Chain A
Amino acid sequence: MRPALFGRHMITSLVMLAVVTVVLGFGYPLVVTGLAQLVFHRQADGSLIYRNGKLAGSELLGQEFTDSKGNPLPQYFQPRPSAAGAGYDGSSSGATNLGPSNPLLIGFVPGVNTVGLNGQPSATNPFATKADPACVPVSPQGTPVTSPSPGQKYAKTAGGSYVCDPNTIPERAIAYRAFNQMAANAPVPVEAVTASGSGLDPDISVQNALDQAPRVARARHLPVQQVIALVHRHTQGRQWGFIGEPSVNVLELNLALDGSS
């Protein structure tokens, strides 16, 4: 349109970019880092927790409390399910991103998502087991099957029922009750069986902690009242009384347990 004018703007742009790159690209973050390190050193470094002089984690990041095979350790409070890497991987935060009607999240619900089974909606879930009417079957290799190819084989238990994908919410609820020795239809707090947005959620709900307390007490041979008291002591209320949700920091609670038994 106006080459000369455009050219002049390009040159000014170049100088402007040099200026902002130096001032905003280097100056700004360094000034903020300097001030932050000076005034809020602990927070700026990640609210780190040391145990016996060794770095044990961060107050703000959840971590796994499992044995080397990945089984949850009963003597520790367990965090929420995690989609960060293989679980609470600090180098790959992430959510499941599963939609609210996805069978991998809610299981097979007849009339909602059975379509993936054979291309047809069906009125019942052919893979339902006694414990889990929403069972999503898995292949012999253990991957959940939602759109089977012809001749698809499924894993079965010794008793002849289908093996279900353990990561759906109904299956997690079953496992949660079994692990904590709760009654078959006892309510399970929703956040205990859903993955968080970051995969690094450091907190669980108070209800979740109270449901786990008897199991932890048994594993540690402690009176249950003592564990419950510890849960209450580590319960963070809403900020200013109304912001956010009350929560229990799992790492701090478990650290306190290790210190007291």
Chain B
Amino acid sequence: MTVSGWEQLLFIVAVTAVAAPLLGRYLAATFRGGKAPGDRVFLPVERLVYRTLGVDPDSSWTWRSYALAVLAFGLLSTLLLYAILRLQGVLPGNPTHAPGMPPLLSFNTAVSFITGTNWQAYEGETQAGYLADTVGLVVAQFTAAGVGLAVALAVIRGIAGKSRTIGNFWSDLTRSLVRVFVPLSVIGALVMVSQGAVQNLTGFRTAATLAGGTQKIPGGLVASMEAIKLLGTNGGSYYGVGGAHPFENPTGFTNMFDLLFVIVLPFAIIFMFGRLIGRPRQGYALVAVMAIIFLAHTVLSMQAEHHGNHLLPASVSQAASGASPGGNMEGKETRFGPEGSALMTIGTMGTTAGATDSALDSYTPVGGTGAFIGILLGEISPGGDGGGLYSILVLALLAVFVAGLMVGRTPEFLGKKIQAPQMKLVVTYVLTIPTTVLIFAGISLVIPAGISSILNPGLHGLSEVTYAYASVANNNGSAFAGLAANTLWYNVTLGLAMLIGRFAPIVLSLAIAGSLAGTRVHARTKATLDTAGPTFMAFLLGVIVIVGGLIYFPILILGPIGERIIG
């Protein structure tokens, strides 16, 4: 890597290390109950919402009721978004004259945004009008993020709290939106506009180019969508090419800002967890494990893209210098260069955002492996807003259990005994997504409807298909975009994979929380396993690598690793 590549990485690490704990402190104060910062502004808004909804924000529910509310809200949101996408052609607010989306594409897109996946089988500029974008998709991006954080709060209460109930979905959702996602999005959007991201309602303008031709210049409510796309770890962009588009991600600075806007909040939620359970060290330990994985896949990919594509002729200069970015520049923008592109794109792959500023399909095999690692390890580096927390907690429970078996002691996490009912749920959780990915990808590779969508020949084509299912089942949504996914087979099966990948983990982690809610908290003794120490951190890392790595290893051998060896 070049010096400026390392400097950009260090910059990201340093800003995150300062901002995430501070934001975590704010979140903890906000969600602890009782007085919170900004009450004078936020409280009247929240009261108004509660009154409109007719709910008592202080009532606390069982996990079943909480899960039912999440499912009911998800179902209705999907139906509403489906209707908007189908009808956008006849609805007002459509200056670009986008026609209504066909049924299967609408299903896929609605599910995609409600689950926070933001897989985009449609073409941003032409198939989504202004109304569908802002009223349909942006609202879904807000609520998907709010639901994720709400579920994480409920899981924390169940795992660590003394009460048998785990909170109130409506108040968690409202508070998340009012005090976190909306204010931060407004600020973020304005920062992006200041650098050149567009925010207007003018539709296409036609320019007379210097050479005597014409060029259509797009407009749109881009920055407002970009902000919640990133902050909410959603990933769905206004334009088809996402963060590569100069109107979405105009400068090297916005490229770094975008990455920070994705990863700071998920890290902050882990710090919040440590504070809320009164054991900040536990938060630091989980953050450290996540950060190690983040650095591993990001550095791997930055290094590979810096080295470039060794299959190019030697006379095409891929050496980096002050006058040329060098490296693998296919599908990458000059202003970011290969390292800045890999840092941003692969840096978001351990979150459910999967926001990209470059074409993943054109990454080198090793560079693309960085994306696979982030996704296949289950989106815990640092994961989605909320999703990252409950995913790593489930893996921590698994690690505690395995460690308990090894030393012959009843496993305990945060003073609560982990027993058969919890472990059944944990194992189901861990197996659900890999099973979904491997079955759907396996079928796609043998039926014509699956194979015919592949763009690139050979082993790279296998990666396109596997990546698609791994990406959507983990609600990441990034793509090896060569795959022509707007087909009957892919719209339906990818839609199903997204639903399973979103709601199975939510229900299962709420169930785990429910089964632990109100159970006895045992006092710490000398014999208690320290789940915040370096030994446990290393052990947890091992469990994550073994669970994620071994399940998917065969498919990585056939995909990117094989491609690298043959090339």
A-to-B contact residues, CB < 8 Å: 1-2, 5-6, 9-10, 12-17, 19-21, 24-26, 28-29, 31-33, 35-37, 39-40, 43-48, 51, 54-61, 63-68, 73, 76, 80, 88-103, 105-106, 109, 112-113, 115-116, 134, 146-147, 169-170, 173, 185-191, 193-208, 210, 236, 238-240, 242-247, 251, 254-255, 258
User: Can you name the residue of chain A whose Cβ is closest to the Cβ of B65?
Assistant: A5
Does the CB pair A201–B334 fall under 8 Å? yes
Given contacts A95-B481, A98-B482, whether A24 and B142 have CB atoms under 8 Å apart is yes
> Which residues from B are CB-within-8-Å of A188?
315-317
Does the CB pair B246–A20 fall under 8 Å? no
The residues in B between 55 and 74 inclusive whose CB is less than 8 angstroms from any CB of A are: 55, 64-65, 68-69, 71-73
Does the CB pair A55–B208 fall under 8 Å? yes
Does the CB pair A73–B250 fall under 8 Å? no
Bound form: Cα–Cα A194–B311 in Å: 14
Bound form: Cα–Cα A243–B256 in Å: 8
B210 within 8 A of A: yes
B-to-A contact residues, CB < 8 Å: 3-4, 7-8, 11, 49, 52-55, 64-65, 68-69, 71-73, 75-77, 80, 123, 125-126, 134-136, 138-139, 142-143, 170, 173, 177, 182, 185-186, 189-190, 193-202, 204-213, 215-219, 221, 223-225, 227, 239-241, 244-247, 250-253, 255-256, 308-309, 311-313, 315-318, 321-337, 340-341, 356-359, 361-365, 455-458, 460, 480-482, 563, 566-567
User: Can you name the residue of chain B whose Cβ is closest to the Cβ of A34?
Assistant: B199
Point out the residue from A54, A205, A239 that lies within 8 Å of B334, measured CB to CB.
Answer: A205
Does the CB pair A243–B334 fall under 8 Å? no
Bound form: Cα–Cα A18–B186 in Å: 21
9 interchain pairs, CB-CB under 8 A: A12-B54, A19-B49, A24-B139, A66-B211, A147-B457, A190-B318, A190-B327, A238-B252, A243-B8
A74 to chain B, nearest CB (A): 12
Bound form: Cα–Cα A62–B193 in Å: 19
B85 to chain A, nearest CB (A): 14
> Which residues from A are CB-within-8-Å of B333?
196-198, 201, 203
A24 to chain B, nearest CB (A): 5
Does the CB pair B198–A240 fall under 8 Å? no
User: Can you name the residue of chain A whose Cβ is closest to the Cβ of B186?
Assistant: A32
> Which residues from B are CB-within-8-Å of A64?
209, 211, 213, 215
> Which residues from B are CB-within-8-Å of A208?
324
**Residue from the set B309, B358, B359 with the largest chain A CB neighbour count within 10 Å:** B359
Does the CB pair A206–B199 fall under 8 Å? no
Given contacts A10-B72, A17-B76, whether A245 and B53 have CB atoms under 8 Å apart is no
> Which residues from A are CB-within-8-Å of B241?
93-95, 197-199
Given contacts A100-B328, A187-B316, A238-B252, whether A28 and B213 have CB atoms under 8 Å apart is no
User: Can you name the residue of chain B whose Cβ is closest to the Cβ of A257?
Assistant: B210
> Which residues from B are CB-within-8-Å of A58?
207, 217, 246-247
Q: Which 9 A-B pairs have the closest CB atoms?
A: A244-B252, A197-B244, A95-B359, A25-B135, A245-B337, A99-B456, A99-B460, A9-B72, A97-B482
> Which residues from B are CB-within-8-Å of A88?
215
Does the CB pair B244–A202 fall under 8 Å? no
Does the CB pair B362–A245 fall under 8 Å? no
A106 to chain B, nearest CB (A): 5
Bound form: Cα–Cα A93–B222 in Å: 14
Given contacts A95-B359, A245-B252, whether A55 and B330 have CB atoms under 8 Å apart is no
User: Can you name the residue of chain B whose Cβ is closest to the Cβ of A32?
Assistant: B224
> Which residues from A are CB-within-8-Å of B252?
238-239, 243-245
A203 to chain B, nearest CB (A): 4
> Which residues from B are CB-within-8-Å of A1?
64, 68
**Residue from the set B193, B216, B460 with the largest chain A CB neighbour count within 10 Å:** B193
> Which residues from A are CB-within-8-Å of B195?
43
Does the CB pair B198–A46 fall under 8 Å? yes
Does the CB pair A170–B73 fall under 8 Å? no
> Which residues from B are CB-within-8-Å of A73?
211
Does the CB pair A146–B208 fall under 8 Å? no
Bound form: Cα–Cα A111–B206 in Å: 47
Point out the residue from B69, B219, B225, B308 that lies within 8 Å of A46, measured CB to CB.
Answer: B219
> Which residues from A are CB-within-8-Å of B245?
93, 198, 200
> Which residues from B are CB-within-8-Å of A25?
134-136, 138-139
Does the CB pair B329–A39 fall under 8 Å? no
User: Can you name the residue of chain B whose Cβ is closest to the Cβ of A177?
Assistant: B315
Does the CB pair B331–A195 fall under 8 Å? yes
Does the CB pair B182–A40 fall under 8 Å? no
Does the CB pair A43–B4 fall under 8 Å? no
Given contacts A33-B224, A97-B455, A191-B329, whether A197 and B170 have CB atoms under 8 Å apart is no
Does the CB pair B244–A198 fall under 8 Å? yes
Does the CB pair B190–A36 fall under 8 Å? yes
A144 to chain B, nearest CB (A): 12
Point out the residue from A10, A33, A67 that lies within 8 Å of B200, measured CB to CB.
Answer: A33
A129 to chain B, nearest CB (A): 14
B98 to chain A, nearest CB (A): 12
> Which residues from A are CB-within-8-Å of B227?
32
Given contacts A97-B481, A191-B334, A244-B253, whether A197 and B359 have CB atoms under 8 Å apart is yes
> Which residues from B are CB-within-8-Å of A15?
52-54
Does the CB pair A61–B215 fall under 8 Å? yes
Does the CB pair B335–A203 fall under 8 Å? yes
> Which residues from B are CB-within-8-Å of A57?
207, 209-210, 215, 217
Point out the residue from B334, B357, B364, B480 that lies within 8 Å of A245, measured CB to CB.
Answer: B334
Bound form: Cα–Cα A21–B224 in Å: 15
Does the CB pair B194–A33 fall under 8 Å? no
> Which residues from A are CB-within-8-Å of B250?
47, 60
Does the CB pair B336–A190 fall under 8 Å? no
Does the CB pair B329–A190 fall under 8 Å? yes
Does the CB pair B139–A112 fall under 8 Å? no
Bound form: Cα–Cα A52–B159 in Å: 67
Bound form: Cα–Cα A105–B365 in Å: 15
Bound form: Cα–Cα A60–B53 in Å: 45
Does the CB pair B200–A37 fall under 8 Å? yes
B306 to chain A, nearest CB (A): 12
> Which residues from A are CB-within-8-Å of B142?
20, 24, 28
Bound form: Cα–Cα A122–B3 in Å: 41
Bound form: Cα–Cα A76–B240 in Å: 29
Point out the residue from B136, B213, B221, B335 that lies within 8 Å of A33, measured CB to CB.
Answer: B221
Does the CB pair B362–A100 fall under 8 Å? yes
Does the CB pair A61–B340 fall under 8 Å? no
Bound form: Cα–Cα A197–B239 in Å: 12
Given contacts A10-B76, A14-B76, A20-B139, whether A55 and B311 have CB atoms under 8 Å apart is no
Bound form: Cα–Cα A191–B143 in Å: 40
